Amino acid sequence: MVSNEANDLMIKAQRYMELAKLALEKGFYSEVCFLSSLAAELYIKGVSLAITGGFPTVHDLREILNYIRINRKSESTIIDEFIRENREELRLLSNEYLVSRYNLGYTYVKEDAEDCLNILLKVINFGNKLLQ
């Protein structure tokens, strides 16, 4: 059973995902990437809290997943595989937490925003797999 705190984090993450989808419709592409990054972080922290009882105070998705891997040895193989297969995407989305807000020299396009949302969906789907 998922604790109230873990569930609250995952619900908040889903709300940020919905806001990211609205931002995409409005053409607010950098905001889509920021919201996708935030949603992915909160969702995987909710998963971590549900299955390990805690989560690290970092923003990097790979570090949060490694925290789960260290604390849940039974999940280490599938977590290692997910990180290995999605390393670049996880790095990109983790970096968007800061880059999308402060990199004024880059203009985000629709494809960037769609990529961020797609990575978020991968993270959520993987988180759900860990919860099963």
Give the start-to-end residue ranges of the domains of the chain. 4-131
pTM, 2 dp: 0.94
Cα–Cα separations (whole angstroms), residue 44 to 19, 24, 52, 70, 77: 18, 22, 12, 15, 17
pLDDT at 1: 59
Q: What is the CA radius of gyration of the chain?
A: 14
pLDDT in tens, 49-60: 999 999 999 999
Grade residue 102 by pLDDT with cuts at 50, 70 and 90. confident
For residue 129, is pLDDT > 90?
Answer: yes
Which element (helix H / strand E) includes 37?
helix 29-52
The C-alpha angle with vertex 68 and arms to 2 and 54, in degrees rounded to 5, equals 55
Given a cut of 90, is residue 111 above it in pLDDT?
A: yes
Instruction: Supply the CATH classification number for the domain 4-131.
Output: 1.20.120.330
Least Cα distance to 120 among 26, 20, 22 occurs for: 20
Comparing C-alpha atoms, which of 76, 54, 77, 65 is closest to residue 123? Answer: 65
Residues written for the chain = 132
**Torsion angle of the four alpha carbons 95, 97, 98, 101, in this order, in degrees rounded to the nearest 10:** 130
